[in-house]
């Protein structure tokens, strides 16, 4: 009767193999824990950096809004100045016309 025979004896090679698996598992866990801590810290740093970028973008948006408002104000002021210049030109033209008419009347009156 040839059956399967199990040998329950343990030798030094078996103990070293088991010990190396245990030490390898512990080393793996320690290395992974360190990497997980590093990734967690980097993630926190990224969140902080992202928050700072959002604040800077908000400031930039505010600056662009103010700049747009200033541009509109400058455009309106420019238009007012152009209109004022037209009024001044019209007034000067009227004064010159009036003075020309007076000088013509004065010349006609002298004759």
pLDDT at 101: 86
Q: What is the mean pLDDT of residues 78-84?
A: 96
Joined together, the tokens standing for residue 66 give 């103010």
| Joined tokens for residue 98 | 């009036």
Give pLDDT, residue 7.
Answer: 77
Residue that has been written with the tokens 């200033």 in this structure: 70
Question: Tens of pLDDT along 34-59?
Answer: 999 999 999 999 999 999 999 999 99
Residue 19 pLDDT level (bands cut at 50, 70, 90): very high
pLDDT at 78: 96
**pLDDT attached to residue 110:** 57
């Amino acid at each position: 009767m040839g059956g399967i025979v199990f040998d329950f004896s343990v030798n030094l090679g078996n103990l070293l193999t088991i010990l190396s698996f245990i030490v390898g598992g512990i080393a793996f866990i320690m290395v992974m824990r360190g990497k997980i801590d590093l990734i967690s810290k980097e993630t926190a740093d990224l969140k902080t950096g992202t928050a700072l970028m959002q604040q800077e973008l908000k400031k930039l948006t505010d600056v662009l809004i103010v700049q747009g408002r200033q541009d509109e104000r400058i455009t309106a002021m420019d238009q007012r100045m152009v209109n004022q210049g037209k009024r001044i030109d019209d007034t000067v033209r009227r004064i010159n016309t009036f003075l020309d008419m007076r000088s013509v009347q004065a010349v006609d009156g002298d004759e």
